Amino acid sequence: MNFGSMLMPVEGKSCRIGAGSYVLRPAGTIGIKLAREIDESASARVDLYDMSAPEDPLTDWQLRGALLLALYSLSRGRGVYVGCMGGYGRTGLFLACLVKCLGVDDPVGYVRAHYHGRAVETDEQLDYVAEFDPGLLRLAVAGARARAGWGQNKSENPYIAGGYIR
């Protein structure tokens, strides 16, 4: 486990996404804020209450837009940081949906093993991840893989080759 960042499941690349409490977001990173109660600037926000999951179409689309931003930014070698208040529940939900977009069969298990064992805290969050259908986001993943060379030899692509993305 690596609270503070998570290794992304992309073949042949060292690619990490920063994660935790949003108030700890490093300067210069793409910020994805998952906490309605935090009043800080963000590149994308998903208006979620503590211990919750998206419950309406607007919040679901906010999450999907933030996932698209994260995938695009990571494929461009940009630092991305995602967080809520504590960095476990809502952050874990986002990370699980992100790796599900990348084709991970057990996204919650992956996030708990590679980020934090407490990630995705509630039954509501577990249900959301289980029912989450990446749909068109998988097309964005295919584009990101091609653009960033995910699945190729590290030395072949300058975007993420050996980089630590926070």
Query: Residues 75-122: pLDDT tens digits?
Result: 888 899 999 999 999 999 999 999 999 889 999 999 999 999 999 999
Residue 32 covered by a domain: yes
pTM of the full structure: 0.85
Q: Which residues form the domain of 151?
A: 5-156
The CATH number linked to 125 is 3.90.190.10
Residue pair 81/25 in contact by the 8 Å Cβ criterion: yes
- Residue 163: inside a domain: no
In a domain, 41, yes or no: yes
What is the spatial distance between Cα 130 and Cα 144, in angstroms, rounded to a whole number?
Answer: 24
In a domain, 116, yes or no: yes
State how many domains the chain has: 1
Task: Identify the residue whose tokens are 């529940």.
Answer: 89
Residue 31 has pLDDT above 90, yes or no: yes
Residue 150 has pLDDT above 70, yes or no: no
Residue 108: alpha-carbon gap to chain centroid: 12
Whether 99 is covered by a domain: the verdict is yes
